[in-house]
Amino acid sequence: MEGVDELEPIRKNERILVMAPHPDDEAIACAGIIQKAIDAGAEVKVLYLTNGDHNQVAFIVYEKRLTFRKGEFIHMGQVRHSEAVKAMEFFGLDESRLIFLGYPDFGTFTIFRDYWDAKSPYRSMLTRISHVPYRSNLSYGAPYTGESILGDIKKVLREYRPDKIFVSHPSDTNPDHRAFYLFLQVALWDLEGDDIPPKVYPYLVHCPGWPLPRHYHPKLQLGPPRQYPVGAGIKWLRSDMSSQEIDDKHKAILCYRSQTQSSAFYLLSFARRNELFGNYPTVVLDLKKDVFPASKEWVMPVLPFWKHPSGDPGLDSPYDTVAEQDNKTRVRYECDGANFYIKVTNSDALSRKFGTLIYLFGYSRKVEFAKMPKLRIVTKGRRFKVFDSRKVLKAEGIELSLGEQEFILKIPLAVLKDPDAILTSLKSYGARPRLNSMGFRKVIIKRR
């Protein structure tokens, strides 16, 4: 596959952790990795964020009845737990290697953004539950809060000490998939210095119009989606699979009868000649070297996709190149020591109705993450509104300008409690240019 390098092999005695937002994600995205790890003599564990108890459409098809009773959704979570055990046993991975957390399906991103107080936990809309209800789960009885999820992930990382982690992608359109990546990143920052950091390989599952064609095509390759092509910022890696590994992956996916009865055409489209992994490079704004001050303008040539002058696409780049047909839109991150800037430039005129949804989650080594601001900024034209978790925030010092070809948002670092790093994403809506990525970027701020 042109432009996609091969993932480094898994070696004997390595500790592999596969993080699955729902039971079936580990089979869809990492069945080949699990097989290769076991064959190599590596240790494997699978960590499930939820029990997948919110998929009411699949439940109706599977159970052939309509119900909204709380106990029925818990029953669905137990069914998916059992299916995961069966699927992994097919590879020789017994239940003792599977860790279920049982947090709310379709609720974990909202928890990451808004719920960091045990006195007011998140309450699932369908199950009407605010605590983990599964007695066999690691986190039974834990409130639906960010502290609970983050604490459980850190506990697993401390005890298992994985060498390699395979986790859901920061650009995945499913909110639980984005959330697991974000919780993992915060956990890794909290544990910095405890041990050699693991290598992290995100996998993509939910992306509009991908993969195509649907259904089971074992002779086809799994390539990057058109939204994130080779050279557009994400460094993609492939893990090739043998015919036997593909066949076994196919059988493992079919173990999830509660899902395949309604979505086999989609799930089985991942059983192909390879699995795919890749992440955005970290953006480093190094104020020590005075590399990216706000006063300095980088004039970049208009290329099909922006490439770093060194030839390494996106390495330590302040740019988040947007995959759009005209390839004329770029996002730039800047910091002058007092303010963080997000700039969108377009070679064509920006619409006066250009709107964005921007997330800014700051991380500080000095402040507990639960107490850090978690900003959501919604803009339309020259107007904007700022939310910190569930509260509207006074926009003190936050400024927005919209010119003919440039959108600039300035956020004082003090509003973010002077973070050492920022997890940020941007999506446009309503008018051109359309930024199709909700992908979260890691921005590191190195101070003087």
Measured CA to CA, the distance from residue 336 to residue 332 in angstroms comes to: 13
Alpha carbon of 17 to those of 46, 96, 169, 400, 440: distances in Å?
A: 6, 14, 15, 42, 21
Q: What is residue 437's predicted lDDT score, i.e. its pLDDT? A: 61
Tokens found for residue 151: 């604490």
Query: Residue 168: in which H helix or E strand, if any?
Result: strand 164-168
Domains of the chain: residue spans and CATH: 5-279 (3.40.50.10320), 283-446 (2.60.40)
Measured CA to CA, the distance from residue 250 to residue 404 in angstroms comes to: 51
**Tens digits of pLDDT across the chain (448 residues):** 788 999 999 999 999 999 999 999 999 999 999 999 999 999 999 999 999 987 655 555 545 555 556 667 788 889 999 999 999 999 999 999 999 999 999 999 999 999 998 889 999 877 789 999 999 999 899 999 999 999 999 999 999 999 999 999 999 999 999 999 999 999 999 999 877 899 999 999 999 899 999 999 999 999 999 888 887 778 999 999 999 999 999 999 999 999 888 889 999 999 999 999 999 889 888 887 655 443 333 332 222 333 333 444 333 445 454 444 444 677 889 998 899 999 888 777 788 888 899 999 999 999 999 999 999 999 999 999 999 999 999 888 999 999 888 899 999 999 999 999 999 999 887 666 666 566 899 999 988 6
Q: What is residue 158's predicted lDDT score, i.e. its pLDDT? A: 96
The CA R_g of the chain, rounded to the nearest whole Å, is 22
Average pLDDT, the chain: 87
Q: What is residue 56's predicted lDDT score, i.e. its pLDDT? A: 57
**How do residues 259-283 score in pLDDT, each as one tens digit?**
888 889 999 999 999 999 999 889 8
Q: What is residue 39's predicted lDDT score, i.e. its pLDDT? A: 97
Nearest to 171 by CA among 219, 206, 213, 146: 206
Q: What is residue 219's predicted lDDT score, i.e. its pLDDT? A: 97
Q: What is residue 60's predicted lDDT score, i.e. its pLDDT? A: 53
The pTM score is 0.91
Amino acid identity of residue 74, one-letter, is: I
Q: Assign residue 381 a region: left if phi > 0, alpha if psi is -120 to 50, beta otherwise?
A: left
Tokens found for residue 243: 């015919």
Q: What is residue 190's predicted lDDT score, i.e. its pLDDT? A: 96
